[in-house]
A and B are shown apart, each in its own frame.
Chain A
Amino acid sequence: MNKTIKTLLGATMLVATGTGAYAADTTLTIATVNNGDMIRMQGLTEDFTKANPGIALEWVTLEENVLRQRVTQDVATKGGQFDIMTIGTYEVPIWGKQGWLVSLNDLPKSYDVDDLLPAIRGGLTVDGELYAAPFYGESSMVMYRKDLMEKAGMEMPEAPSWHAIRRAAALMTDKDEGIYGICLRGKAGWGENMAFLTATANSFGARWFDEDWNPQFDSPEWKEALTFYIDMMNAYGPPGASSNGFNENLALFQQGKCGMWIDATVAASFVTNPDDSTVADKVGFALAPDNGLGKRGNWLWAWSLAIPAGTDDEDAAKKFVAWATSKDYLALVAENEGWANVPPGTRTSLYENEEYAKVPFAKMTLDSINSADPTAPTVDPVPYTGVQFVAIPEFQGIATAVGQQFSAALAGTTDVDTALANAQSLATREMKRGGYLK
């Protein structure tokens, strides 16, 4: 063989094999998302590794959508790249049914599984088997500027109606001063505008499917919900709202440009943090609005730790999952980072703690979580579970396409009737393809 080629190949192999090795008996690879609570956990894992010297931890932190694609691909192909995965309440029921996850019913008694909030636990359980342990739970709620409400001569009810929200938005809007009464998600995506709009539609009596899986976008309830949202956003929302997701609205709210923002409860810790928010001491909280039909427009989500079936280190993985979602871990965070930084929304005992009760958004977060029921999310009966999603594999694709239609309606490039007709048509087509409809 040519000497040069030999040299090139040799150099390639040489550089390709230069890696480090690990001394621990077991190395757990944990796939996780990049958010404050998860990053905090990475900083506190010494507590776990000290107690379990034979277990080393490797973190793979990815953006939420990349992580979802990455872990789905790995669990579906049994790639075995991860020993623990961070997944949400959408994936758990689907993957649990597929047999892709290890049951956590045998966690030690000291774990106190009965202490988990019932709504959250219910979303992670399939046929009596707990398939993931909640790391933190979230719902959605109204965050509003108390000073602007006062200036408008209004008082925010603890459980407002959509009518009250619209009225407050009208009174708070001062476009000359760059203040918009309401900031809501408009960016297309099943986890972006469709999370908000599905939960909102629930409170208007709408639903994704009837009991025979027929799409319901042609119903008057959907038309009422979407028309209300678009009219309110056009009148009192910020310009370019069809491009706004969580982060864009967070930036607007922190800069004092939103009178109200209805979004994830996890945002409360950001908007009340004086280091980042210019309105930190002026924020009030209220339950997500309703329309007098018995359902509020709030969602329910829990980032949870699950173990893929077929992992080589199931016992070690269970030890870590039990540690990271335990009462002791919550106490550890409180000791190191303060009560305001404790992962919220997973355990009843946390909300019975007097110290935690002093956190300004604690009660509202719990009330919001408790007011969402993933097993009966809508006014009329439905064949699915999930509040802001439908726990079927086809949902991601359908909801992303529907989200594009609704985002276009908000941007004004189409109208509500056309957007709903298109949504109905594409949802029907996909449900037929999926075998739900004949």
Chain B
Amino acid sequence: MARAISTHRKALNTAIAWLIAAMIFFPILWTVLTSFKTEAQAIADPPLFFGFDWTLENYTTVQDRSNYFRHFWNSVVISVGSTLLGLALAVPAAWSMAFVPSKHTKNILMWMLSTKMLPPVGVLVPIYLIFRDWGLLDTQIGLVIVLTLINLPIIVWMLYTYFKEIPGEILEAARMDGASLKSEVLYVLLPMAVPGIASTMLLNIILAWNEAFWTLNLTAAKAAPLTAFIASYSSPEGLFYAKLSAASTMAIAPILIMGWFSQKQLVRGLTFGAVK
């Protein structure tokens, strides 16, 4: 009897999980479906799910009107660049906090996290002026820097959490065997923390890819990533939902595909050390 209840509960849990997943995925599915409709079908009431004449016209129009690949390349550079730079800064920081903590380590970690609580618009004008004076407006390097700084607290926190799971005795043993600090980090710490570093990297690429406040405010034509590409299809005076959906699908497709292929790594990293 107990086994039967357990099976029922399992089935119920699975059903609930599928339902939640379907609810989360529905907006993406709807966007993709709308991208294959005409503008008139996109606003049809009742909404059309599958019974419509599929068209690629919106994709053709979007491709004709915008330079998708330039935006795509900018997104790749900005998200990968800011993640790599962030990791380069965060690995030593997290190492020192995890293995050589001082009495202020916790406070520093909390302070770093508190910077994420400030609304970005609060520092928009000062950063805009600095970027103007340093010639960083509408440049990829400018966005790499700003997104690195924005995401650095998360990278440090994640790496700190993963490093804390690694027994300090292993590093100590390496030191006793004569390993230098460089060798200790490179050949002992990093290989053990690969799942954590990989998931940190993936998560930060996704965060940087989707970041829309700074990428819209600090770019114009040259360094504008895919967020600006989507924004260019939004209009308060005109129903261009099908084209907007096509642009959105083109913008999210690369990161969705990347997420799909790396989901095992991502889940493994995010649950690293969750169950002891």
Contact = CB atoms under 8 A, between A and B. Distances in A.
Contact of B232 (A12, A61, A275): A61
Contacts of A29: 220-221
A156 B150 CA distance: 58
A255 B132 CA distance: 48
A11 B144 CA distance: 12
B235 A34 contact: yes
A34 B222 contact: no
B220 A31 contact: yes
Contacts of B186: 2, 4
Given A61-B232, A73-B125, A81-B137, A251 B238 contact: no
Interface in B38-91: 38-40, 43-45, 65, 70, 73, 76-77, 80-81, 84-85, 87-88, 91
Interface string A50-83: 0000000011111111100110010001111110
A237 interface: no
A82 B220 contact: yes
Chain A interface SS verdict (over half):
mixed
B64 to A, nearest CB: 8
Interface centre among A15, A36, A78, A79 (most CB of B within 10 A): A15
Contacts of B238: 34-36, 247, 250, 270
A9 B85 contact: yes
A158 interface: no
Interface stretch (A17-25, A104-112, A348-356): A17-25
A87 to B, nearest CB: 15
B160 to A, nearest CB: 18
Nearest to B244: A34
A60 B235 contact: no
Interface in B66-121: 70, 73, 76-77, 80-81, 84-85, 87-88, 91-92
Given A60-B224, A276-B39, A9 B140 contact: no
Given A63-B235, A77-B129, A58 B221 contact: yes
Interface residues of B, number: 51
B124 A73 contact: yes
A2 B184 CA distance: 12
B216 interface: yes
Contacts of B182: 2
Nearest to A192: B236
B236 A250 contact: no
Contacts of B223: 19
A423 to B, nearest CB: 23
Interface string B175-192: 000000010011000100
Nearest to A303: B237
B88 A8 contact: yes
A31 B219 CA distance: 11
Contact of B221 (A13, A39, A59, A247): A59
Contacts of A266: 237
A172 interface: no
Interface in B233-250: 233-240
B144 A20 contact: no
Interface centre among B87, B91, B222 (most CB of A within 10 A): B222
A351 to B, nearest CB: 22
B236 A18 contact: no
Nearest to B78: A16
A33 interface: yes
A81 B239 contact: no
A63 B234 contact: yes
A254 B232 contact: no
A434 B270 CA distance: 50
A264 B238 CA distance: 11
Given A5-B88, A19-B222, A61-B232, A264 B237 contact: yes
Given A2-B182, A19-B223, A276-B40, 18 more contacts: A2-B185, A5-B88, A16-B81, A16-B140, A16-B141, A34-B235, A60-B232, A62-B216, A65-B236, A73-B124, A73-B128, A80-B137, A245-B236, A251-B43, A254-B239, A255-B44, A270-B238, A276-B39
The list of the 4 closest CB pairs from A to B, nearest first, reads A61-B232, A58-B221, A63-B234, A8-B88
11 contacts: A2-B185, A31-B220, A35-B235, A58-B222, A60-B232, A64-B237, A77-B125, A79-B137, A250-B238, A250-B239, A251-B45
